């Protein structure tokens, strides 16, 4: 599988401009031969634009995800649209964990723009953030089949909770995608946590961050793909970029056979 991570420039509350950048990144990833491209957390509004959450919230069938689905179909590429602020009360076609409220929601589309999975962020960030106060946490695991791969989905702060990744790995995931809005100064944590999740579960982890400045935060970029040994396959700096790399999914079984930590677990 050829995987692309779209480290987008994200402007606070500039929804239309941010959507257009996402559509352009999907097109560029397809031009570069990617099978699947992943977008950052709350790429249309900007994670730290809390004042805009309520007015910019959309259902899963809303304009942002509809346009990403159209882009996936037009360019023949899978897309993890990770994520938007979802208006749960307005969503109609997907089972929701609450009758109302807002959620931090990612959707995986196939090459025909069909929804394969919906994931709502489990762990909501409360440290110097309004997310935990404003949003409803998700309850269901994000796991789907995409062209022979079992793809797991988590979001940003979820990285600090390894039990979620173990549950996803137990569902057979080969690759876990982690759309994020990770800010300075926690660079070391951003480099450590996805690598640790890859090593302890012996699978691929791809951490997709944004790029941009908000009133009181700056995203640090550094989107990276880690293999089941925790080795960096591809990554970038803090500026907008498109990371493209080939992921050999057979490596998951090979690494687990060579170093059988997964088999040696005591449950």
Q: Any idea what the CATH number is for the domain that residue 65 is in? A: 3.60.110.10
- List the beta bridge partners of residue 29: none
Query: Do the domain assignments include residue 120?
Result: yes
Q: Is the dihedral of CA 19, 221, 180, 211 positive or negative?
A: negative
Query: Do the domain assignments include residue 9?
Result: yes
Query: Do the domain assignments include residue 78?
Result: yes
C-alpha to C-alpha distance for 183 and 42, rounded to whole angstroms = 14
Query: Do the domain assignments include residue 178?
Result: yes
Q: So what's the pLDDT on residue 97?
A: 59
Q: Which of 39-48, 73-82, 98-107, 119-128 has the lowest mean pLDDT?
A: 98-107
Query: Do the domain assignments include residue 263?
Result: no
SS3 percent helix, strand, coil of the chain, rounded to 5, is 30, 30, 40
Q: For the chain, give the mean pLDDT.
A: 95
Query: Do the domain assignments include residue 102?
Result: yes
Query: Do the domain assignments include residue 42?
Result: yes
How many structural domains comprise the chain?
A: 1
Whether the ω angle into residue 13 lies within 30 degrees of 0, i.e. cis, is: no
Residue 144 C-beta-side C-alpha neighbours within 13 Å: 21
Q: For the chain, how big is the Rg over CA atoms in Å?
A: 17
C-alpha to C-alpha distance for 197 and 163, rounded to whole angstroms = 10
* Nearest in space to 45 (alpha carbons), one of 222, 210, 252: 210
- List the beta bridge partners of residue 212: 219
pLDDT digits (tens, 9 = 90+) for 146-191: 999 999 999 999 999 999 999 999 999 999 999 999 999 999 999 9
* Nearest in space to 208 (alpha carbons), one of 250, 243, 187, 180: 180
Q: So what's the pLDDT on residue 95?
A: 67
Determine contact, residues 88/60, Cβ cutoff 8 Å.
no
Task: Give residue 100's domain range.
Answer: 2-258
Query: Do the domain assignments include residue 265?
Result: no
**Residues assigned a catalytic role:** 41, 121, 156
* Nearest in space to 91 (alpha carbons), one of 127, 71, 120, 112: 120
């Amino acid at each position: 599988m050829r995987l692309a991570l779209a480290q987008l420039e994200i402007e606070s509350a500039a929804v239309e401009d941010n959507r257009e950048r996402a559509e352009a990144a999907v097109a560029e990833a397809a031009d570069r031969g990617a099978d699947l491209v992943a977008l950052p957390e709350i790429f249309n509004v900007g994670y730290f634009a809390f004042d805009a959450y309520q007015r910019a919230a959309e259902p899963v069938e809303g304009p942002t995800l509809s346009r990403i689905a159209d882009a996936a179909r037009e360019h023949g590429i899978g897309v993890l649209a990770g994520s938007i602020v979802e208006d749960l009360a307005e969503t109609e076609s997907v089972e929701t964990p609450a009758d109302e409220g807002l959620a931090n929601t990612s959707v995986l589309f196939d090459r025909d723009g069909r929804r394969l999975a919906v994931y709502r962020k489990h762990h909501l960030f409360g440290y110097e953030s309004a997310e935990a106060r404003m949003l409803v946490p998700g309850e269901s695991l994000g796991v789907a089949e995409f062209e022979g791969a079992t793809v797991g989905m988590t979001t940003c702060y979820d990285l600090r909770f390894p039990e979620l990744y173990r549950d996803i790995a137990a569902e057979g995931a080969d690759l876990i995608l982690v759309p994020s809005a990770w800010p300075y100064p926690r660079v070391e944590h951003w480099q450590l946590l996805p690598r640790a999740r890859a090593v302890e579960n012996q699978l691929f982890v791809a951490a997709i961050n944004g790029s941009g400045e908000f009133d009181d935060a700056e995203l640090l970029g550094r989107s990276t793909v880690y293999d089941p040994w925790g080795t960096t396959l591809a990554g970038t700096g803090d500026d907008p970029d498109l990371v493209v790399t080939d992921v050999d999914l057979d490596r998951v079984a090979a690494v687990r056979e060579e170093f059988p930590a997964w088999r040696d677990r005591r449950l």
